[in-house]
C-alpha cells in the first residue's frame, strides 16, 4: 500500500474502546499502535485492532473527515 493520507478506526475489542485517527502512512501508524511505540490513549486502553480505514487525496480532506467523524457528522453533511 503506497503512502496516502488516511482516516482510521481502531478498537480494543468487540464492543470495546474506539479511537479515530488520521495519518499519512497507515501501515506504519498501525504498527506503532500495536507495538505501543507511542505513549498515549491507545497504549493506555489497548486499542490496537484496525476495524476501518478510508484513503484520501489530501491530508486536508483526511483531517476534515476525521473531525466530522469525531463530531458525529461523519455522513459528509454539515451540521
pLDDT tens sequence across 58-76: 999 999 999 999 998 766 5
- Which distant-in-sequence residues (6+ apart) come within 8 Å of 60 by Cβ? none
56: how many CB neighbours lie within 10 A of its CB? 18
Give residue 22's pLDDT.
98
Q: Which one, of 34, 38, 43, 68, lies nearest residue 54 by Cα?
A: 68
Model's pTM, two decimal places?
0.86
Q: Which one, of 19, 27, 25, 36, lies nearest residue 70 by Cα?
A: 19
Amino acid at each position: 500500500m503506497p503512502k496516502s493520507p488516511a482516516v482510521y478506526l481502531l478498537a480494543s475489542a468487540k464492543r470495546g474502546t474506539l479511537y479515530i485517527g488520521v495519518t499519512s502512512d497507515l501501515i506504519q501508524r498501525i504498527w506503532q499502535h500495536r507495538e505501543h511505540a507511542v505513549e498515549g490513549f491507545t497504549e493506555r486502553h489497548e486499542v490496537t485492532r484496525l476495524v476501518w480505514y478510508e484513503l484520501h487525496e489530501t491530508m486536508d480532506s483526511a483531517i476534515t473527515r476525521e473531525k466530522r467523524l469525531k463530531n458525529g457528522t461523519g455522513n459528509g453533511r454539515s451540521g
